Chain A
Amino acid sequence: MTIHPHPRPSPIEGEGSSFRYIGKKRRTKEDPRFVMGRGRFVADIALPGMKHVALVASPYPSARILSIRTEAALAVPGVHYVLTGEEFCAATESLAIGVDTPQVTRYALAKDVVRYAGEWVAAVVADTRAIAEDAVELIEVDYEPTPHVIDPEQAVAAGSPLVHPAHGSNILFHRRFVWGPVEQAFARAEHQLALRVRWGRSATVPIETFGVAAQWDPGQQMLDVWASIQMPKYPDQTARALRLPGNAVRVHYDVDVGGSFGVKRGIKHTVLVGYLARRLGMPVRLIEDRLENMRGGDAHGPDRIFDMQVAFDRDGTLRALKIRALDDVGAYAGRAPLQLGKPVSAICGPYRVAAVEYEPTSVMTNKTPQEAVRGFGQSPTNFALERALDHVARHLGMDRIELRRRNLIRKDEFPYRIPSGSSYDSGDYHTVLDKALAAIDYPALVAERDAARRAGRLGGIGISTCLEPSGGNSAFEPLFNPKNDTTTWMEACLVRVDLSGAITGVMNTSSSGQGHESLVSTVIGEVLERDPAGIRVVRADSLSALPSNSPVGSRMAIMLGGAAAGAARKIKEALIEIAAHNLGCTTETIEYQDGNVAVRGHPGQRLTWDELVAIAHRKYHQMPAGLEPGLQAKFVWEVPTGGALPTADGVIQIYPCYAFETHIVYVEIDPQTAKPSLRKYVCGHDCGVMINPDIVHGMTYGGIAHGIGAALYEKFAFSDDGQLESGTFMDYLIPSAMEIPAIAIVDHCTPSPLTTFGQKGSGEAGYLGAPAAVANAINDALAPLGATIETLPITQDALWHVINAAGTDH
């Protein structure tokens, strides 16, 4: 395994306090336009002559399509076209899938068969969305229902109906990884236990649905696309599916995305709309309504059963883990199976475990397809690990915190390589845990819980200690599909200083609330020592963009931050070169301060920022040889520690940086109504250097709220006949400000040695540890009853059944 050295921005030293802009409280660039209502979301864009799409959806989870009659729909005034799979699937390519299953094809419209209730069967294009919906009602589809399968364990069993018969089974991926002497460790360990936990199907469900507008320009033979998108290789996959060259698709990244957290991968919507725009010669737009989004938007999340076995000694030392994970991706797959692969990067969590066996199975059922959800499978895995830890503690009669302390990797052990091959860069887990315990006043909290119990209330404290792998080295792709030898996970930034001396940073992807403009301007300002307030950040479109892999895998602080710093540093070096040339000295004797330069020891020999800029742009006669005119620089770089392929045993370095979070939460369950109430919540968080603390905190609060939703409220529930029962916001329960408690975050900073400023990623913070902590709190509350609940979401009804069965009914 060779790791090729690649250019990366040199680290810029400085603890939080010695940075000028980084780590300081600072208003973001983005907030003003949004508070004014001047965001530019895809539904805000009006293209002249634009037409609107509505979809015909299958009511059956599995059926043959016998006929589709469109005449009545076409006769509605204002309707321009009705597209079915017959035409569409012949004219476009199947969408990409992350594993090697070429028989599992996928298109935006069904052809011949439907595979889930809600699958799109036909698309109507009309002058208005209302007319399109009128026409949708007039389309008559004849279906012949066929056997379906909803339960994943049934789907892997022999004799199950097959979702894609041509594939021969419902299993998309299965492998048993063995890292380290697992059987030996189990044989030698003093104890072992087994448990099953279930992560219910939920997702990020942003308040803005997915939308896309496209326009074909026959004069330029180019397709322009505006979308609410967060997806790597989006323009490329769009072009490929539409059978267009890559440079015939121009995606506009300057569209504000109303939240995504992974799921906005509307590639099927885009190919559909792109095809229609070109076919009809008019701009076409599809904005999912909420019903389409929930049922047919293909944006559900992991739906996972874990069977865990833990081998441990009586002193609590973890010896080995066996983790079997069965994940139900629904009727089709894009990248969803890979959500079983990312957790390999932190498969044993923050603990010292020498041997791990991991057996993931990705299975199809006749349900809405799954898409990437915040953390890409890490949160369900953390939940399973943390439940296992609590079970071990209970088995031994040991304090749960003490058990964790004994097994947490110590700060002097970094970099720490886990059995699956990833190296954790840095951390100080014990200190973060201590800080969180102090912040919540843990002894007092225990007393409060015990007092509640004496008073007949079910009080419980939940703890989780979890990792957030960050940096987005998606090496799980070749791990799960050896035919995919992709190892490039890059990011880029271009920085330019214009003739007036103003600085602009150009980023190459869209954003959905992460504050990237603030990130880039702060970093550029830090390196060039110029006020970020004057630095503008814009977005290229896909044809003018430098390579980017999109904001995924908590990577942008590291990768975009590093790229912006790298480009800014090149500008600084150019300025110093110009200065040395004009001041008659070497570059080493130039002192750079706030964009102005002087010769060291000779303050009278100086040049201002404006003077340097003028030379660069206008005074070629004063330029040093070999320096290009103007003042601009690009920086493109590969993820640190990336660039390698897995071994035959599936050992591979995945993400480079590991942020850490510990959650401590106090819950009280009313024993009579079974309603849980979260009373106290503290999160200790260490993501290295925070470039903008408000932005990091905001995303962490949001991640915790999202995690509470997954733990207690949110579920895409399917009936036995394959119908989505929670397809509206009346039944899919997103928590409001009344369900989310006040949250306190305690920060710690263990810088990463791998990044420019020591920053780690944090876009998934909170979500990765909250479900585990809440589940542990509920189970602690139930402990006096001798009961457990191992299925998320933990509903009031489920709690009541457990409490009732334990016989403490009043």
Chain B
Amino acid sequence: MNETLYPISVEVNGVLRTAPVPARLTLVDWLREELRLTGTHVGCEHGICGACSIMLDGEPVRSCLMYAVQADGHRVTTVEGLAQPDGSLSVLQDSFCDLHALQCGYCTPGILIAAQGLLDATAHPTDEQIREAIGGNLCRCTGYQQIVDAVKHAAARLAEDPLSPRGRGTG
């Protein structure tokens, strides 16, 4: 079967990407296989594990539950777009390293997206709010404790630095 290809134009991490894609190609597969942005991961393909989380127009969503065609005209941020404009780690990413909030790294990009979404909206999240924000991201390595600690740590650092309210890139 020759599948029809649909042209899409998506801003990914601040860069406009255009491509013809088959309708059934999911957003996560397009990002990974076509754009080679392999930081976003596939864990279940049915919308539960959250490893595929990206930001769509600034809000965390599951990219395994969208088709790439649906992203036409929209703005996507992946883990690769979280770093500061000069390439250094965002405050959140740096806190993850400081507090060892990851082990195998597979769920980490999705968790960073979800946590960054929380920090973008809430200046002083409680532990409960942090757990709820990452409640749609499953991790088998960490037991979530050091993740919660790292997000809290990042929030505190961001609150201290008025010049960098989000502490991350504009992707």
Contact = CB atoms under 8 A, between A and B. Distances in A.
Chain A–chain B contact at Cβ < 8 A? yes
Interface of A: 27-28, 30-39, 41, 43-44, 46, 76-77, 130, 134, 204-209, 256-259, 261, 289-290, 512-515, 694-695, 697-706, 728-730, 734, 736-738, 740, 742-743, 766
Closest 10 CB pairs of A and B: A37-B39, A34-B105, A258-B106, A513-B104, A701-B143, A513-B103, A705-B143, A37-B79, A729-B48, A694-B100
19 contacts: A27-B97, A31-B105, A35-B79, A35-B108, A36-B83, A37-B37, A44-B32, A130-B24, A259-B140, A290-B46, A694-B100, A694-B146, A699-B103, A700-B143, A702-B143, A706-B143, A729-B138, A734-B140, A737-B135
A698 B48 contact: no
B63 interface: no
User: Which residue, of A38, A289, A699, A702, has the highest number of chain B Cβ atoms within 10 A?
Assistant: A702
Contact of A742 (B44, B49, B145): B145
B131 interface: yes
Contacts of B49: 207, 729, 734
A704 B143 contact: yes
B1 A257 contact: no
Contact of B102 (A35, A261, A743): A35
Given A28-B100, A41-B41, A77-B1, A734 B105 contact: no
Nearest to B79: A37
A44 B96 contact: no
A680 to B, nearest CB: 14
B2 interface: yes
B43 A207 contact: yes
Contacts of A728: 44, 46, 48
B69 to A, nearest CB: 14
B143 to A, nearest CB: 3
Contacts of B132: 737-738
Secondary structure class of chain B's binding surface, majority of residues: loop
Contacts of B80: 36-37
A699 B103 CA distance: 8
A742 B127 CA distance: 9
A206 B46 contact: no
Nearest to A701: B143
Given A208-B41, A738-B135, A702 B105 contact: no
A289 B143 contact: no
B41 A77 contact: no
A35 B89 contact: yes
Interface of B: 1-2, 22, 24-25, 32-33, 36-46, 48-49, 51, 78-80, 83, 89, 93, 96-100, 102-109, 112, 127, 130-132, 134-148
A34 B102 contact: yes
A208 B43 contact: yes
B2 A259 contact: no
Given A206-B140, A513-B104, A32 B1 contact: no
A206 B104 CA distance: 10
Contact of A701 (B135, B137, B144): B144
Given A36-B80, A258-B106, A737-B148, A289 B45 contact: yes
Nearest to A76: B1
B101 to A, nearest CB: 8
B97 A701 contact: no
Given A134-B1, A736-B137, A737-B147, A32 B43 contact: no
Contacts of A705: 139-140, 142-144
Given A207-B43, A736-B144, 17 more contacts: A33-B105, A37-B37, A76-B1, A206-B106, A207-B139, A261-B140, A290-B43, A513-B105, A698-B100, A705-B142, A706-B143, A728-B44, A728-B46, A729-B48, A734-B49, A737-B130, A737-B139
Contact of B51 (A130, A207, A698, A706): A207
A208 B105 CA distance: 10
Contacts of B98: 27
A698 B142 contact: yes
A734 B138 contact: yes
A737 to B, nearest CB: 4
B89 A205 contact: no
B93 A36 contact: yes
B145 A743 contact: yes
Contacts of A702: 103, 139-143
Contacts of B143: 698, 700-706, 740, 743, 766
Nearest to A704: B143
B21 to A, nearest CB: 12
Given A27-B98, A734-B138, A207 B107 contact: yes
Contacts of A699: 103, 141
A35 B95 CA distance: 10
Contacts of B148: 737, 742
Nearest to A694: B100
A300 to B, nearest CB: 15
A189 to B, nearest CB: 40
Contacts of B1: 76-77, 134
Given A695-B100, A738-B132, A39 B142 contact: no
Contacts of B140: 204-207, 259, 261, 702, 705-706, 734
Contacts of A37: 37-40, 78-80, 109
B49 to A, nearest CB: 6
Contacts of B37: 37
A793 B158 CA distance: 41
A77 B1 CA distance: 6
A774 to B, nearest CB: 14
A677 to B, nearest CB: 13
Nearest to B106: A258
A588 B148 CA distance: 51
Contacts of A209: 43
Nearest to B107: A207
Contact of B39 (A38, A134, A259, A766): A38
